[in-house]
Each structure stands twice: as structure tokens, then as C-alpha cells.
């Protein structure tokens, strides 16, 4: 029997990038998966990838819409229950650095309160609100929640996108608080914090694909950025999410923040810089 057989998962932001890889892996491993995002073509590509991976298309439900909208979140949960009858796994993955192509550029001085409102609405409020809708169903299945935060939400400064990093730090803390409250009710929460992963996240901010790939290449050349020496793939994150969504393999992990970043978060510039040259 496959590890997620007879389980039902919602993966938000699964029209692309990390969410798509999570949806494909969960479906490949037996789950019925609700694939969601705004981009119709990209949602169909996720379905195609699932089918190419051997998944029966009847186990994939596409629900298209904007996760920041109240009505859409209700539709997402209702459509899931109407199609599959229950919910076992919720992966809160949809997120962005700022509004798509907003053209404001990085840094607090370039961004404004509209960016703040949008980022908090997408990266945090939509998750809180979706949880209110999903938790009664997750309680009845003794389900699992995996929230996708970022190393930008850890202790280091992220001056380019301060609202993004604030939203992700809050998500880590929300996960811990809810993990404590909900484990007695049978629902398990954990967070995954990816480091740099090759997706379209930077392109959505207007960076051409070629420059995105150039930036990734330059990051992986410098061990002070990524000690592992390579940029992560969406599948690197999906493997960890699947591990955390599987109660059999990870039941003793509750409210944890698992960092998946090729070692970026352990770098201490004071030490990796010229320190040794002066010893």
C-alpha cells in the first residue's frame, strides 16, 4: 500500500514551483490531491505532471482562484469535501515576495503599506482563515498540517523583503502555537523553511528568467551563501513535506521548524569572512 493511500490533501499554490512538486509527490504516493492557484494553464500542467507520474486523473481536483479571497477559500474547502468527502493533509504553500510584477523594487523605502497589506493577506491571513475552515475536518481525520515558511523568517535580517520575512517569521510562530493547542485534538502542525529554490518566485517580481538563473548560479558558487554548493529543487522541499505529512515516519515531530536550505542558515559571516586570515 502506498503511504498516502486513501488520504486527501489540499496543497495551496500547487499551480507552480514547490507546491506543484508537493502535489505530484503526494499524488504519486497515493493521495487524492486538491491542486489550487490562480493560473489556469499552470494548474493544468500540474495535472499533466501527475498523470505522467502514473496518477489517475480522478484523484486530482483543480480548484482555481485567489486564496486571499474569503469566498474562494470557502469554495476550496467545500469542493474538496464534495469531491473526496474528507481532509487529511493541508499544505499551506501559496506565497509571494510581493504582488506579482508590482515593480516597486526591494527594500522598506521602496515598498509601501499596500505591499504590507497584500503580503500579510497572502502569506499569513489566508492561512489563518483557511485553518478556521479546515481544522474541524482535520480534527475528525487526525490530520497533518505542513506550513511553508522560509529561511527569511528565521533570525537573520532580510532587508530586501522585510514584509515577506515578517510574514514568514509569524508563520513559524503561529505553527508552534497551534501545534501545542491542537495536538491533544489529534492535529499535528509543522513548518518547513526552504532556502533558495529554483522556481518562478523571482520572475513574479519582474526579474527575467535568465537573470533569475544567473543569480542562482552566482549564489551556489559561494559557500558563504549555500555551503552545499547547489540551489535546491522543488523536489528537495517536497520530499521533506511528504515526510512531515506522513504520521508513520514523523509522528514524534510536532511544532518543529525544519530548515531545508543547503546549509545557508548556519553560515556566520564573521567566521567565514577573513577571520581565518588574521589568525
Active-site amino acid positions = 164, 168
Out of 148, 158, 169, 179, point to the residue binding ligand NDP (CB under 6 A): 148
**DSSP sequence for the chain:** --TTTT-EEEETTTTSHHHHHHHHHHHHTT-EEEEEES-HHHHHHHHHHHHHTT--GGGEEEEES-TTSHHHHHHHHHHHHHHHS---EEEE----SSSTT----SSTTT--HHHHHHHHIIIIIHHHHHHHHHHHHHHHHT-EEEEE--GGGSSS--TTSHHHHHHHHHHHHHHHHHHHHHGGGT-EEEEEEE-SB-SSTTGGGT--HHHHHHHHHHHHH-TTT-TTSSPBPHHHHHHHHHHHH-HHHHTT--S-EEEESTTGGG--HHHHTTGGGG-
Looking at the Cβ atoms of 93 and 250, the one nearer to ligand NDP is 93
| 16 is a site residue for ligand NDP (CB under 6 A) | yes
Looking at the Cβ atoms of 101 and 185, the one nearer to ligand NDP is 101
| 162 is a site residue for ligand NDP (CB under 6 A) | no
Backbone angles phi, psi at 257, to 5 degrees: -115, 110
Looking at the Cβ atoms of 10 and 122, the one nearer to ligand NDP is 122
Looking at the Cβ atoms of 170 and 247, the one nearer to ligand NDP is 170
Out of 23, 35, 50, 96, point to the residue binding ligand NDP (CB under 6 A): 96
Out of 29, 66, 117, 246, point to the residue binding ligand NDP (CB under 6 A): 66
| 93 is a site residue for ligand NDP (CB under 6 A) | yes
Number of residues that bind ligand NDP (CB under 6 A): 28
Looking at the Cβ atoms of 28 and 165, the one nearer to ligand NDP is 165
| 255 is a site residue for ligand NDP (CB under 6 A) | no
| 258 is a site residue for ligand NDP (CB under 6 A) | no
| 150 is a site residue for ligand NDP (CB under 6 A) | yes
Binding segment (CB under 6 A) for ligand NDP, from list 32-40, 74-82, 136-144, 173-181: 32-40
**Where along the sequence are the contacts to ligand NDP (CB under 6 A)?**
13-19, 37-39, 42, 66-68, 93-96, 122, 148, 150, 194, 196-197, 199-201, 204
Amino acid at each position: 500500500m502506498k503511504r498516502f493511500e486513501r488520504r486527501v490533501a489540499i496543497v495551496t499554490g500547487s499551480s507552480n514551483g514547490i507546491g506543484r512538486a508537493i502535489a505530484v509527490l503526494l499524488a504519486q504516493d497515493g493521495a487524492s490531491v486538491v491542486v489550487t492557484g490562480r493560473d489556469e494553464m499552470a494548474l493544468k500542467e500540474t495535472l499533466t505532471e501527475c498523470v505522467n507520474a502514473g496518477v489517475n486523473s480522478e484523484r486530482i481536483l483543480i480548484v482555481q482562484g485567489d486564496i486571499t479571497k474569503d469566498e474562494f477559500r470557502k469554495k476550496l474547502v467545500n469542493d474538496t469535501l464534495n469531491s473526496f468527502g474528507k481532509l487529511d493533509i493541508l499544505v499551506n504553500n501559496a506565497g509571494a515576495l510581493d504582488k506579482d510584477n508590482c515593480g516597486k523594487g526591494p527594500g522598506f523605502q521602496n515598498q509601501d503599506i499596500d505591499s504590507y497589506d497584500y503580503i500579510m493577506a497572502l502569506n499569513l491571513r489566508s492561512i489563518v482563515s483557511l485553518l478556521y475552515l479546515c481544522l474541524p475536518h482535520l480534527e475528525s481525520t487526525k490530520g497533518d498540517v505542513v506550513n511553508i515558511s522560509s529561511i527569511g523568517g528565521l533570525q537573520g535580517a532580510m532587508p530586501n523583503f522585510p514584509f515577506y520575512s515578517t510574514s514568514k517569521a509569524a508563520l513559524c510562530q503561529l505553527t508552534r502555537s497551534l501545534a501545542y493547542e491542537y495536538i491533544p485534538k489529534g492535529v499535528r502542525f509543522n513548518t518547513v523553511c526552504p532556502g533558495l529554490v529554483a522556481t518562478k518566485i523571482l520572475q513574479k517580481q519582474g526579474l527575467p528568467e535568465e537573470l533569475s538563473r544567473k543569480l542562482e548560479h552566482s549564489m551556489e558558487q559561494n559557500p558563504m551563501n549555500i555551503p552545499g554548493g547547489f540551489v535546491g529543487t522543488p523536489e528537495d522541499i517536497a520530499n521533506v513535506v511528504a515526510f512531515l505529512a506522513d504520521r508513520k515516519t514523523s509522528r514524534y515531530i510536532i511544532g518543529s521548524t525544519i530548515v531545508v536550505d543547503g546549509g545557508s542558515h548556519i553560515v556566520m559571516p564573521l567566521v567565514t569572512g577573513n577571520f581565518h586570515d588574521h589568525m
